[in-house]
Amino acid sequence: MPTADFRSDTVTKPSPGMRKAMADAEVGDAVYDEDPTTKRLEAMAAELLGMEAALFFPSATQANLGGLMAHCGRGDEYIVGQRAHAYRDEGGGAAVLGSIQPQPLPSEPDGIIDLDAITAAIKPDDFHNPMTRLLALENTFNGQPLPADYLRDSTELARSHGLSTHLDGARLMNAAVATGTDAAAIAGRFDSVSLCLSKGLGAPVGALLAGSRTLVERARRIRKTLGGGMRQTGVLAAAGIYALEHHVARLAEDHERATRLAEIFREFPALGAGEARTNMVFMSPEGAGGEGEGLDKDAFTAFLTDRGITVGGYGRLRWVTHLDIDDEAIGRVRQACEEYFG
């Protein structure tokens, strides 16, 4: 029995069709900009995101850093959510490698940063202060799509103060599919957007950074500095093309399965599970948010592991649906919950 691995949508393995596309890929030296498959992926991504150009990166971490460094110089500052990936989960790359000072602000539960807080954090043009250069947002944030009004208002606010805007769109396609919005309509509000190919889209490696031609050329130089200039990347880009062609619309299935998971969990209030957010469900099994008398998280997860179900998360448990989670896996979770509480 294969394990039903709900820890993350990064655990997907390339499907036979994707592996065939990789094996058949035409390649060249991508640092010389001569890899036809990589160029095709970059053109597809630019079109999908409604941007002039896009650049292939080894990871979304590096694509975000490339974006931040393309916007900000040494000693500049970017405004970012306290719980944003590009602040908290990327090894402090902006500061360590970019000499860019983060100005973190509270991430509200729905993933937004309060507009008044943004305004208050923008430094005046005074030689004592760092130059506030960029607003960086994340969509989806912990699975939640940012509201369209907020995307408009926050980027307009940033622009009115002369700031650039970057979107960490690692899971942008989940947001687009869940809200029935064109990805370009979301991305178009920003000067640069990253997109991860190895989350729900199911490629083994890779990400894109999209923006204006000027920004992408600046990012190409930065990517080289960061060691992200890779050679025959066509074998990887082919997986990305396959993912964009076959794995975008089907994200709706992941969202639907997450909704079903949340419904199952609702029958067991001690789990303290919340609503599904695109392809994620969070639960606080020690009673926090639950109505029950609380539950031993370690015992519960060990019980699941014995039944071929793995789940991850720090503090809260996070369930993530993806390409390699099917209806059988959802059924297995229901049965495990029934046995545990039965």
Beta bridge partners of 63: none
Does residue 144 touch ligand PLP according to CB under 6 A? no
Q: Does 166 bind ligand PLP (CB under 6 A)?
A: no
Residues 65-104 that bind ligand PLP (CB under 6 A): 85
Q: Closer CB to ligand PLP, residue 19 or residue 83?
A: 83
Return the residue of 61, 132, 154, 232 that touches ligand PLP, per CB under 6 A.
61
Contact region with ligand PLP (CB under 6 A), list: 59-67, 239-247, 278-286, 330-338: 59-67
User: DSSP labels for 313-338?
Assistant: -SSSEEEE--TT--HHHHHHHHHHHH
For the bound state, the minimum distance from the C-beta of residue 56 to ligand PLP, rounded and expressed in Å, comes to: 12
Tokens found for residue 310:
């793995």
- Residue 174 interacts with ligand PLP (CB under 6 A): yes or no: no
Instruction: Compute the distance between CA of residue 144 and CA of residue 255 in angstroms, rounded to an integer.
Output: 11
Side chain identity, residue 260? R
Among 80, 135, 170, 201, binds ligand PLP (CB under 6 A): 170
Note whether 189 binds ligand PLP by CB under 6 A: no
Q: Which of residues 168 and 286 has its CB atom nearest to ligand PLP in the complex? A: 168
For ligand PLP, the closer of residues 59 and 144 by Cβ is: 59
* Nearest CA among 190, 110, 104, 116 for reference residue 151: 190
The residue range among 18-26, 55-63, 95-103, 214-222 that interacts with ligand PLP, by the rule CB under 6 A, is 55-63
CB of 110 or CB of 328, closer to ligand PLP: 110
- Residue 138 touching ligand PLP (CB under 6 A): yes
Separation of alpha carbons 315 and 33, rounded Å: 44
DSSP letters, 40-95, are HHHHHHHHHHT-SEEEEES-HHHHHHHHHHHH--TT-EEEEETT-HHHHSSTTHHH
Q: Which of 32, 97, 90, 95 is nearest to 61 (CA)?
A: 90
Dist CA 47 CA 266 (whole Å): 41
Q: Which residues contact 188 (CB under 8 A, 6 or more apart)?
A: 49, 50, 51
Q: Which of 138, 137, 140 is nearest to 178 (CA)?
A: 140
Phi, psi at 209, each rounded to 5°: -120, 125
Candidates 154, 198, 278, 279: give the one binding ligand PLP (CB under 6 A): 198
Region from 96-104, 195-203, 269-277, 328-336 binding ligand PLP, contact rule CB under 6 A: 195-203
Task: Name the DSSP letter for residue 175.
Answer: H
Q: Is residue 59 a contact point for ligand PLP (CB under 6 A)?
A: yes
The smaller minimum CB distance to ligand PLP, of residues 144 and 198, is found at 198
Position 168 contacts ligand PLP (CB under 6 A): yes
Closer residue to ligand PLP (CB): 85 or 220: 85
Comparing CB distances to ligand PLP, the nearer of 61 and 192 is 61
Residues at the contact surface with ligand PLP, assessed by CB under 6 A? 59-61, 64, 85, 138, 168, 170, 196, 198-199, 207
